[in-house]
Structures are given as C-alpha cells and as structure tokens.
Amino acid sequence: MTSLDDLPIRDDLRGQSPYGAPQKPARIALNVNENTHPIPEEVARDIVESLAGAILTINRYPDREFTHLREGLADYLGHDLTRENLWAANGSNEVLQQLFQAFGGPGRSVLIFPPTYSMYPILASGTGTRVIRAERDADYGISPETVTRWIEQEKPDLVILCAPNNPTGTPLPIGTIEAAYAATTGMLIVDEAYAEFMPDDAPSAITLLEGRERLVVSRTMSKAFAFAGARVGYLAADPAVVDALRLVRLPYHLSALTQAAASAALRHTPAMLAMVDDIREQRDRIIDELPALGFQPLPSWTNFVLFGGVEDPNATFEALLEHDVIIRDVGIPGHLRVSAGTRAETTEFLRALGTIAS
C-alpha cells in the first residue's frame, strides 16, 4: 500500500502530523472549545429559510465580495467600521492562511509565543514562513516589555498574538498589543477567537485599528455564535489589508450557502450571544470547583479552562473517556484543558473528575 514516503511531497512536510484533536466517541464532548449550546429554534428556522432562498440561485456563482455578510459583520463589531474594513473566509484558519499567503512566505518570518494556537506553525509551514518561537513571562503572560524585546531582537515580518490565548486562556493586556505594534514594522495579527468571553469592560484590539494600517484583528463565529460547523471566520483591518487578501484568495471562496447562513445568524445576534453568559458562568464554576478536587485551574477569559496538578494527563484523559467524557491533552506537562459546556455537561465532567481523583 502506498505511503507518504512513496510520494514526492515537499521535504519540509515529511514527518509532520496533521492538525486535529482526537475524535473519539463520547456523550460529553468538551475537548475542542465548541459552544455546546444548541442554536435557538427561531434562529435555526431563519437560517433554514435563508438557505432555501440561496438554493434557488445555486446554479450561479456567489457574490465574490460577500457584500451583505461584510456589512452585517461591520454592524456587529461597531467602532465605525464599514464593509471595507471587513473580510471573511471559511473559518478563521483560512483567514489566517490568507494573511500568511499575503504577508509571509519564503524569506519571511513570523513571531509566535508558545504555548499558543497550534495552527500557527502549521500555517507558517504551508506557506514557507520561518517560525520564531518567543518565550512568555511567568503564568503564560506577555508584558509590553517582553513583546518589545522579542520584536526588536528578531525583527519578524509577522507577529501573532492570541488574545486571550489558546490553550491557556490567558488574558493579553491591551498595552502589550500597543507595544507590539509600535515595535514592529511588519504585520501584527491579533487572534481574538474568544473575544466575546472576555469581561465586558476589557477592550478589544478593534479599538486600536484606527491609524494602524498594519494591525489585523481576526475573529470567528465558531465559538460565541455556536457556528463551528458552518466554518465562518473574519477579520477587521485597514481596507488596504483587505485589498491584499483579494490577491491570494481563491475565486468565490465563500459559498452562497455560507453567506446566507452567516448573515441570518447575525440578524439574531442578541439571541445567539445570550449563550455567552451561561458559558462564562460554567467556566467560572469549573475554576471555582477544581481546587477542591486537587487541581490548579488557570485564570481564563475564554470558554475553556486549563488546569494543572494532573499527575498523569494521558491516564486522566483515558479515565474520563471511560466515564463518557472527553477533554483535551494539549501537551503541556501536568495539565489538561476542558471546554465549558452546558450546566448539565459541566456537572457530569466535575462528577467524573471527582470520582477519578478520589
């Protein structure tokens, strides 16, 4: 049987593994930071009706500029943004990939701060961009001084800051983003996939966009909008950045069905975001209750919690799986990560973990 070794693939791809969390059957799935709340029925009905309308013209190519969707995203974000500031793709991974294609590539470099989102080096590898791995401060933070020192030392072409960070949940001070932009002459990408789960008074990097043409803020509808299966990511930036992405995107990259579904969901923003407060409550409940079970949770501004004090992460992962609960081993020694689910799901996770720990 043919294997990868038999094919003339690129040398730099040999020996690599594809991205992906373990896909094992479990009744309580809290392993990939999904929003486990179901979409409200009235929203689902509107989405279905919108899809039905799109089907009637499916014989034609979709709006290449996905104008209506960009207008909806601009209205959602506010801050005087217009559709000219917005771009979207099939998940924030494709948004980031297009940014790498436009601003990275052979002879260029990207600065990342591990542990962070594991797709960054994969996207860099796929575009021939050299990865520079910087060190974080204590407790997985990044201070303005730290980010400035690394940028001045390495002079990268791109800098990616995950705010708040995945997989640690760590907040990123707005001052660190300001310092990073001031220190670099390249592109600064702030990945705000979990922005809706931050405290209400925590400023987004979107507030820094005006006058910063090399700043890009990436978002997703997968988390807060419970739209993971629809694959819709987007960014806000100077219109010139959007022009750059037009040079590398595939023709008609967002299907008519994707555009219709996402636009319908945005029409119901209050109903969709009503789930966020419930998720925050369960996240904070996990943080409050884990110490009594002998674990050390980290502070989190996301919809998940990274916790330490795990003597054998793989054994604990497998033991939870026997209880029909799956979480995530993210490769940080002594730690595991769990998504905040519904109240019932969170209760079952805590009960199962308590049984294992006792």
Query: What tens digit of pLDDT does each residue of 118-139 get?
Result: 999 999 999 999 999 999 999 9
Q: Check pLDDT > 90 for residue 74.
A: yes
In angstroms, rounded to a whole number, what is the distance separating the alpha carbons of residues 212 and 192? Answer: 17
DSSP 48-115: HHHHHHHHTTTTS---TT-HHHHHHHHHHH-TT--GGGEEEESSHHHHHHHHHHHH--TT-EEEE-SS
Residue 339's φ and ψ, nearest 5 degrees, are -80, 150
- pLDDT attached to residue 22: 67
Least confident of 32-41, 95-104, 127-136, 142-151: 32-41
Share of the chain above pLDDT 70, in %: 99
Q: How many residues does the chain have?
A: 358
Q: What is the pLDDT of residues 231-264, one digit of tens each?
A: 999 999 999 999 999 999 999 999 999 999 999 9
| Domains of the chain: residue spans and CATH | 22-39+270-357 (3.90.1150.10), 41-267 (3.40.640.10)
| 304: its two tokens | 């998940």
Instruction: Report the pLDDT value the prediction gives residue 256, as an integer from 0 to 100.
Output: 97
| Beta-strand pair 325-326/28-29 | parallel
Tell how far CA 268 is from the center of its chain. Answer: 22
pLDDT digits (tens, 9 = 90+) for 187-237: 999 999 999 999 999 999 999 999 999 999 999 999 999 999 999 999 999
Residue 149 has pLDDT above 70, yes or no: yes
45 neighbors 358 (Cβ within 8 angstroms) = no
Q: Looking up tokens 């990097």, which residue turns up?
A: 205
Collapse the DSSP code of 239 into the 3-class scheme (helix H, G, I; strand E, B; otherwise coil) and give the result: helix
User: Which of 34, 38, 59 has the alpha carbon at shortest distance from 47?
Assistant: 38
- Of the chain, the percentage scoring pLDDT greater than 90 comes to 92
Taking alpha carbons only, the member of 184, 192, 195, 194 closest to residue 132 is 184
Q: Does position 350 have pLDDT exceeding 80, yes or no?
A: yes
In this predicted structure, what is the pLDDT of residue 326? 97
Q: What is the pLDDT of residue 4?
A: 83
C-beta pairs of 199-204 under 8 Å, 24+ apart in sequence: 199/301, 202/171, 202/174, 202/301, 203/174
Bridge partners, residue 112, by sequence: 133
Cβ atoms of 245 and 215 closer than 8 Å? no
Q: What pTM was computed for the model?
A: 0.95
Q: What is the pLDDT of residues 167-179, one digit of tens each?
A: 999 999 999 999 9
Please report the beta strands in the chain, taking only residues with DSSP state E, as ranges in sequence order. Answer: 28-29, 86-89, 109-112, 130-133, 158-162, 187-191, 215-220, 233-237, 296-297, 304-308, 325-326, 336-339
Q: How far apart are CA 95 and CA 89, in angstroms?
A: 6
Spatial distance between the Cα atoms of 124 and 130, rounded to a whole number of angstroms? 7
Q: Which two tokens stand for residue 316?
A: 């604990």
